[in-house]
Structure 1
Amino acid sequence: MSWELRRGPIDVHAHWLPRELFGLPPGAPFGGIADRDGRMFIGDTPLSIDTRLMSDVGAIRADMERAGVGARVLSAPPFAFALGTAEGTTDYVESFNAQLTQVVADGEGWFAGFGCVSLADPDAAGRQLQELAATPGILGVAIPPLLGAGSLDSEPLEGVLRRASALGLAVLVHPMQLPSPSLAKHYLVNLIGNPVESATAIASVLLGGVLERIPELRICFVHGGGCAPDLLGRWSHAWHARPDVSAGSGVPPEEAFRSLWLDTVTHDADAFDLLAKKAGAGRVLLGSDYPFDMADPDPVVHAIERGLSAESLDHDARGFLGLDAPHQDAA
Structure 2
Amino acid sequence: MNGDIRPGVIDVHAHWLPRVLLALPPGNPLGGMNDHDGELFLGNMPLSFPTAAMTDIDTIVAGTLKSGLGARVISAPPFAFPVHAPAEADDYVAAYNEQLADAVARTDGTLVGLGLVRLDDVAAARRELTRLAAAEGVAGIAVPPVVDGRSYDRGVLREVLGAAAELDLSVLVHPMQLPHPEWDHHYLVNLIGNPVETTTAVAAVLLGGVLEELPGLRICFVHGGGCAPSLLGRWGHGWRQRDDVRRGSTRAPAESFGLLYFDTITHDPEVLGLLRAHAAPDRIVCGSDYPFDMAQPDPVGYLLGHGIDAATLEANGRRFLGTKPADTSS
Which TM-score applies when normalising by structure 2? Answer: 0.95
* CA distance in structure 2 between the partners assigned to 1:188 and 1:127 by the alignment: 37
| 2:266 equivalent to 1:266 | yes
Say whether the 8 Å CA contact 1:9–1:313 is kept in structure 2.
yes
Say whether the 8 Å CA contact 2:223–2:263 is kept in structure 1.
yes
Deviations 1:63-91 (A, max 9, x none): 11221010011101111011144564100
Q: 1:153 — aligned with what?
A: 153
| 2:178 equivalent to 1:178 | yes
- The one-letter code of the counterpart of 2:278 is K
* CA distance in structure 1 between the partners assigned to 2:37 and 2:135 by the alignment: 37
Say whether the 8 Å CA contact 2:86–2:118 is kept in structure 1.
no
Q: 1:209 — aligned with what?
A: 209
Q: 2:229 — aligned with what?
A: 229
Q: CA deviation at 1:244?
A: 1.0
Q: 2:328 — aligned with what?
A: none
Structure 1 unmatched ranges of 5 or more: 326-331
Calculate percent identity across the aligned residue pairs: 53
* CA distance in structure 1 between the partners assigned to 2:182 and 2:44 by the alignment: 19
- The one-letter code of the counterpart of 1:207 is L
- The one-letter code of the counterpart of 2:148 is G
Q: 2:298 — aligned with what?
A: 298
Q: 1:121 — aligned with what?
A: 121
- The one-letter code of the counterpart of 2:194 is N
* CA distance in structure 1 between the partners assigned to 2:29 and 2:226 by the alignment: 23
Partner SS state of residue 119, structure 2: coil
Say whether the 8 Å CA contact 1:119–1:125 is kept in structure 2.
yes
Q: 1:192 — aligned with what?
A: 192
Structural mapping, 1:40-59, within 5 Å: 40-59=40-59
Count the aligned residue pairs. 324
Deviations 1:202-224 (A, max 9, x none): 00000111111111111000000
What do you get for the CA RMSD once the two structures are aligned? Answer: 1.4
Say whether the 8 Å CA contact 1:73–1:113 is kept in structure 2.
yes
Structural mapping, 1:1-331, within 5 Å: 3-85=3-85, 88-324=88-324
Structure 2 unmatched ranges of 5 or more: 326-330
Partner SS state of residue 201, structure 1: helix
**Superposition misfits of 4+ residues, deviation over 4 angstroms:** 84-88
- The one-letter code of the counterpart of 1:263 is D
- The one-letter code of the counterpart of 1:228 is A
Say whether the 8 Å CA contact 2:61–2:107 is kept in structure 1.
no
Deviations 1:167-200 (A, max 9, x none): 0001000001111100000000000000000001
